[in-house]
Amino acid sequence: MTDVIFDFGGVLTDWDLAAALVDRYSPELVARFIDNNNSGVWNAFHFTDRQWADEAGVELVSRHQPIFGEMLAYAYRHFDLTGMRETPGSHQLVEDLQARGYRCWGLSNWSPENFQWVYKNIRTVHMLDGYLVSGFVHCAKPEPEIYQLAVERFGLNPAKSVFIDDDRTNVEAARAAGWHAILRVTPQGTIEEL
């Protein structure tokens, strides 16, 4: 292996969308909102991660119920309340891998607006050799195009690269692109697999 590619949300960072909403909305309503089958919120993120305007995501969720659109708009405006922080140990893991000669990259689905907050506040992002964020390139995981774009931009040999993501669909897409891939369940389990 020569390269390790990390997803951000759920791998290098932890975040909790509900955390931005629990002081403003009832627990029952927040639970319904977080469930994509009720609100379509994760579908909305999937669209805005390709640089659709946040308003387009709000409109999409509002089709389910107007209150869900209001909640998503509030979460966008108060992204700092989502509990975004570095995953414990992620900084050390990247540092250790780089000290052993591995190149470390980021490949993540974020809207440009939300990624700006991540860039300003998550120090591990600045340690990486580079990163590719969906909202700036108009394609997103698990689409094959974003994996190929990462190969080109980072100069990767997929057979010598390992990708870590907390979403099984994204892991399977990386494997289909010829990469090694690890489904991140626990930090220790990820380290053992590496």
- pTM of the predicted structure, to 2 decimals: 0.88
Q: Give 108-131 pLDDT, tens digit per residue.
A: 998 888 888 889 999 999 999 999
- Quick one: pLDDT at residue 52? 66
- Quick one: pLDDT at residue 128? 98
User: SS3 string of the chain?
Assistant: CCEEEECCECCCEECCHHHHCCCCCCHHHHHHHHCHHHHCHHHHHHHHCCCCCHHHHHHHHHCCCHHHHHHHHHHHHCHHHCCCEECCCHHHHHHHHHHCCCEEEEEECCCHHHHHHHHHHCCHHHHCCEEEEHHHHCCCCCCHHHHHHHHHHHCCCHHHEEEEECCHHHHHHHHHCCCEEEECCCHHHHHHHC
Q: For the chain, give the percent of residues with pLDDT over 90.
A: 63
Look at residue 4 and tell me whether its pLDDT is greater than 80. Answer: yes
Least confident of 37-41, 91-95, 133-137: 37-41
Q: Is the Cβ–Cβ distance between 60 and 40 less than 8 Å?
A: yes
The torsion angle over the Cα atoms of residues 91, 46, 119 and 189, rounded to 10 degrees, is 0
Q: How confident is the model at residue 23 (pLDDT cuts 50, 70, 90)?
A: very high
CA Rg, the chain, in Å?
Answer: 17
Look at residue 189 and tell me whether its pLDDT is greater than 70. Answer: yes
Specify the amino acid at residue 178.
G
Q: Give 128-180 pLDDT, tens digit per residue.
A: 999 999 989 989 999 999 999 999 999 999 999 999 999 999 999 999 999 99
